[in-house]
Amino acid sequence: MKTLIKTIAIGLSAFALSSSSLMAEDYPSRPIGVAVSYGAGGATDFQARIVTMVAGNKDILGQPIYIINKPGAGGRVGWNWFASEADKDGYTLSAYNIPHFIAQSIKGGVSYSADSFEPIANWGEDPAVVVVGKDSKFNSMEDLIKFAKENAGKVTTSGAGLFVGHHIAALQIEKACSCKLAYIPTKGGGAAAMKAVIAGDVMAGINNLSDAYRAEKAGNIKILGVADLKRNKEFLPDVPTLKEAGLDVDNSSVNYRGLMVPKGTPQAVIDKLAAQVPLMFKHKRVASKMSAGGSPMNIMTREEVQKMWAAREATLKELLKGL
Amino acid sequence: MEFLNHFGGVFEPISFMLLLVGTIGGLILGATPGLSPTMAVALLIPFTFQLAPTQGLILLGAAYTSTVAGGAVSAILLKIPGAPANIATSLDGFEMAKKGEGARALHLSFLSSGVGGIIGVLLLIFLTPLLAKWALAFGPSHLFWLAILGVTVIGSLDSKSFVKGLLSGCIGLWLSMIGYDDIQGAQRFIFSSSLTGGINIIPALIGLFAIPQVLDMFAKGRRNAEIETVQVPKQSIMDSARELGRSGRALSIGTIVGSIIGLIPGVGGQIAGLVAYDQSRKFSKHKKKFGTGHSEGVIAAESANNAMVGPSLVPLLTLSIPGSPTAAVLLGGLLIHGIFPGTDLFDNHPKVAWTFINSMLVGQVLMVIFGIYTATWAARIARAPQPIMAAAVMVLALFGSYSVQQSMSDVYIMLTLGVGMFFLEKFGFSAAPLVLGLILGPIAEANFIQGALISNAQNGPLEYFLTGPLNIFLVVLVIASVGYSFWTNMLEQKETTLEAGAKS
Amino acid sequence: MTASRIQHLIPAIIVLAVAAIVTWLSFTQQPAQAFLFPRLISVAFIILAFWNFSRAALGQSKVGGGVSAESFINLMPGLVVMSIYAFFAAKWLGFYCASFAAFLTIYSIYDPVPLSSMKDWGKRVFITAVFMAVIYGLFSLLLKVQTPRGLFF
């Protein structure tokens, strides 16, 4: 009997030695996890599952990527965990949402900032759009703004939460028209905010382009404007930008999604990921599934993302000053 | 009747194979502690990348229906509810299993799941346009009242002590507020760094239900360990079917409550089972037997949580609004194939839509067959010697709560809540109302805040929350429910004092 | 005052204390808007807790048998093993290794057969190994859950 126990003990320890403490050159030697700070079925979760589906290919990473959902408080729960508890060995990645996490860190009360993370690459950009129900009396941004100016604080406008892209867009619109909206943050992300618009709980809403495009095709809503620098040619060529509608709103609220690792991850691992991950995003199967789902892509390398983060942080600090 | 034309699609060889894989896989995943139907379906999404849209959806549809039913297996045998939907199942189901009637409980749970599930899907097929309007009728004020209505059930859910039932509910509501608040992002009641993420419902369920059970087994000590193994006569499937026929009241209450509540976006699935359980107890002739291993409790809870599956997809399929997290995951399954739910789905891809719906119908039947087939075998688990059972549930609880978000905090929370609940239970508090508070707290709060914000932009909160037929109807229900609990509580107290008086 | 009455007082006091802390925090913490709902709940909480406390103090709290000294002594070893396992060993030793040890320990502590029998030790180790194999298959192979590896595995 004792020999049996001994054999098991030896077997276990041998197994432990072989599986732990592997060097960066073998990276990755086991599946990689990606933490998504939103619930299963949300836009970020859905896109993260698509863009990582070819990770197991030999010419990409050679190991599959699996998704861990850590939803709560507009993403704060997931990113807090990622900044403070995640292993810094390259086997735990996280999806980022810009401007969400930078805006939250400027607002305070969280244990992360843009410096807590190292970007790897960007896969998508999803501009915020202004939507109203299909039977709404508003047919253009001008109608909406005119009403808002005459009735300060009466235009109930739903969005996915406070200090997320939708809220930033609402703040920018208020600043540009010098009028007041009643921004209603919903729990349960963009889907809940969209439901509030369709059901007529609110007069207008700010939502993701991808979700709004779908809802418009289903005949439930009208899209009045895009909060971006140029029109979206692929999905909404006929919808004007807010700038065209006379509002000085730039692309600060555009929701960029990509992958990052915690600061302190070995440089060799970061370099390997930064080289391989864009290839994964560019894979033709990824592109076809993303476009089928109505999700706009914008692949950016690590250097480009670093610049984008820095630029966003500066504009957001300016915008959120005094709030 | 268009769905009949597409029935052939389900029985094509590959599709039928996938249907089988989805059903059996769903039962296993559903029975795994810590894996909710939402996560199970999300795990299957990558497999559908390779499949044609119809086939992918068959897999997902079958898996959805059978994971919900599969959750009953661990709820009955181990007292680990797989998802909030199965809480009510474990209340009587586990007591039945303890008495050695595990097989009977499983038979009844699968049969009533099947009946409820099929009726739910038929509602989806025939009444979708009507139901879609109903689903949209619920704005923030109505959802707030609905959550409050759910909270009032707390008082009557715990038959032992009225005060302690309500108090347990309050503890649950407080626990639900720990962590970052969802709208403002402010930190609330974070006493330890493990709590920053708040209390996740699945680990909490495992802790509150499974751990006190393990500790109870410990408390019996070594000597008594094998006394409780009881021999019971074998339960044939026909017996179970006859019993189900006799419990028509519980079955119909479960099915009706499940389908109505399942439809309401964001609330339905989680509380359908508990509300149906509570209602069927109120209307039952054997009120006192509930909670002691009474079959009506299992029947009501399981018919309700599967009846909700069909209606919960109505908002998704007609309006492209995912009404539940699982529906949101299914939406992803459609989108990767470029199919948008809504009018596009039924007009341009009728084959996909109807095959999907039919697969859930056929999936229910397969689920009942497989479930019953394995029930007798699975029920043996409950007869394992106590020390093995205690050790196994302990390890499963740890793995189950860890795997939800791969987080150690969830494990710590699970065990702390479980140990606390063990001692509270010894003094007449109970886990079911506490969990109901934990589930309903965030729903009530979010809708309260949203309603308040919207009403500020309109004519003030009083008008917003208290006018309109649906608001008034719900408020009347809340008052009636509280009144009923108070009244029966007074009656019972009178009875006990009379009895005590008679004895002395 | 009976033992059961004293026993019922302990949880009543703890719950009352928790309710008091929750109420105090709800009304003092900032931002006020985030604590609007907690205030609402905490008022109900403290009223109920006080009601429960007075019932316990008056000896009207009769539901629930409390914990007997014998059960408590029986319970302790299991509770200690479980706490070490979940709070410490699982992360330090690795999930599978710690689970194997914890399962075997609990099984051995509460197994009615005497611990001196070598044959029964073999049976226990065997059952533990089979159970852990099932867990490994389910969580690691099928569901691809990455558990903490710790010192061993």
| Higher local confidence (pLDDT), B469 or B335 | B469
Q: Do A136 and A222 have their domain in common? A: yes
pLDDT average, residue stretch A80-88: 89
**Angle in degrees, CA B83, B448, A103, rounded to 5:** 85
- C146–A31 C-beta distance less than 8 A: yes
CA–CA separation, B146 and B194 (whole Å): 31
Q: Do A121 and A139 have their domain in common? A: no
Q: What is the pLDDT of residue B393?
A: 92
A140 found inside a domain: yes
Residues whose CB is less than 8 angstroms from the CB of residue B89 and which lie 6 or more positions away in sequence, other chains included:
B71, B72, B75, B76, B81, B109, B273, B298, B301, B302, B305
pLDDT of B107 above 60? yes
C-alpha closest to that of C90 among B31, B406, B78, A94: B406
Mean pLDDT of the residues in chain A: 87
Q: Do A138 and A221 have their domain in common? A: yes
- A293 vs B: CB within 8 A: yes
Q: What is the pLDDT of residue B503?
A: 45
- C149 vs A: CB within 8 A: yes
- A107–B342 C-beta distance less than 8 A: no
Exposure letters A133-171 (e unless 16+ CB within 10 A, then b): beebebeebeebbebbeeeeeebbbbbbbbbbbbbbbbb
Predicted ipTM beyond 0.90? yes
pLDDT band at B225 (very low <50, low <70, confident <90, very high): very low
- What is the chain A residue with the closest CA to C147? A33
Interface of A with B in 85-114 (CB under 8 A): 85, 104, 107, 109-110
Residue A65 β-bridge partners: A32
Q: How many domains does chain B have?
A: 1
CA–CA separation, B434 and A234 (whole Å): 50
Among A207, A226, A245, the domain boundary falls at A226
Q: Do A52 and A120 have their domain in common? A: yes
Q: Do A182 and A268 have their domain in common? A: no
**Chain A residues lying within 8 Å of C144, measured CB to CB:** 31, 64, 66
| Higher local confidence (pLDDT), B499 or A212 | A212
Q: What is the pLDDT of residue A323?
A: 65
Range in A111-125, A127-141, B29-43 the model is least confident about: B29-43
Strands A65-69 and A32-36: parallel
A232 found inside a domain: no
CA–CA separation, B234 and B240 (whole Å): 11
Q: What is the pTM of this model?
A: 0.87
- With a pLDDT cut of 90, the percent of chain B lying above it is 24
Q: How many domains does chain A have?
A: 2
Residues whose CB is less than 8 angstroms from the CB of residue A114 and which lie 6 or more positions away in sequence, other chains included:
A101, A102, A105, A309, A310, A313
pLDDT average, residue stretch A245-255: 90
CB B356 within 8 A of CB B41: no
Question: How many interchain CB pairs under 8 A, A with C?
Answer: 32
Q: Do A116 and A260 have their domain in common? A: yes
- B331 vs A: CB within 8 A: yes
SS3 B335: helix
A260 found inside a domain: yes
CB B457 within 8 A of CB A155: yes
Pure H helices in A178-283 = 189-198, 209-217, 267-282
Whichever domain contains A268, its CATH number is: 3.40.190.150
- B188–C38 C-beta distance less than 8 A: yes
pLDDT of B371 above 70? yes
Q: Do A55 and A201 have their domain in common? A: no
The length of chain C is 153
A13 found inside a domain: no
Per DSSP, B192 falls in state: S
- With a pLDDT cut of 70, the percent of chain B lying above it is 93
- What is the chain B residue with the closest CA to A49? B46
**Shortest alpha-carbon distance between residue B446 and chain A (Å):** 6
Ranges of beta strands (E only) in A147-281 are 156-159, 182-185, 204-208, 221-226, 255-262
Q: What is the pLDDT of residue A5?
A: 52
Q: In this predicted model, what pLDDT tens digit does every residue of A33-62 receive, in sequence order?
A: 999 998 887 889 889 988 998 898 888 999
CA–CA separation, B473 and B346 (whole Å): 34
A177 found inside a domain: yes
- With a pLDDT cut of 70, the percent of chain A lying above it is 92
Query: How do the pLDDT tens digits run along chain C, 153 residues long?
Result: 566 778 888 889 999 999 999 999 999 887 888 888 899 899 999 999 999 999 888 877 767 777 888 889 999 999 999 999 999 999 899 999 999 999 999 999 988 887 777 888 999 999 999 999 999 988 888 777 888 887 877
**Shortest alpha-carbon distance between residue C43 and chain A (Å):** 25
Q: Which domain holds residue B235?
A: 2-503
Q: Do A211 and A142 have their domain in common? A: yes
Residue B80 CB neighbours (<10 A): 30
pLDDT of B46 above 80? no
**Shortest alpha-carbon distance between residue B24 and chain C (Å):** 14
SS3 A129: strand
Closest Cβ–Cβ partner in A20, A31, A64 for C149: A20
Q: What is the pLDDT of residue B134?
A: 78
pLDDT average, residue stretch A99-110: 89
Residues whose CB is less than 8 angstroms from the CB of residue C139 and which lie 6 or more positions away in sequence, other chains included:
B399, B403, C145, C147
| B101 φ/ψ angles, rounded to the nearest 5 degrees | -100, 30
Exposure letters B398-409 (e unless 16+ CB within 10 A, then b): bbbbbbbbbbbb
The helix or strand, by DSSP H or E, that contains position A126, with its residue range, turns out to be strand A117-126
CA–CA separation, B381 and B395 (whole Å): 15
Q: Which domain holds residue A259?
A: 31-126+254-320
pLDDT band at A322 (very low <50, low <70, confident <90, very high): low
Task: Name the neighbours of B, counting chains with at least 3 Cβ pairs within 8 A.
Answer: A, C
Per DSSP, A114 falls in state: G
Among A211, A226, A241, the domain boundary falls at A226
pLDDT average, residue stretch A220-228: 93
pLDDT average, residue stretch B412-421: 95
**Angle in degrees, CA B357, B360, B362, rounded to 5:** 110
Q: In this predicted model, what pLDDT tens digit does every residue of A134-182 receive, in sequence order?
A: 999 999 999 999 999 999 889 999 998 888 899 999 999 999 988 899 9
Mean pLDDT of the residues in chain B: 85
pLDDT average, residue stretch B156-183: 84
Q: In this predicted model, what pLDDT tens digit does every residue of B78-97 receive, in sequence order?
A: 888 878 888 889 989 999 98
Residue with tokens 């001692």: B423
Residue A156 β-bridge partners: A182
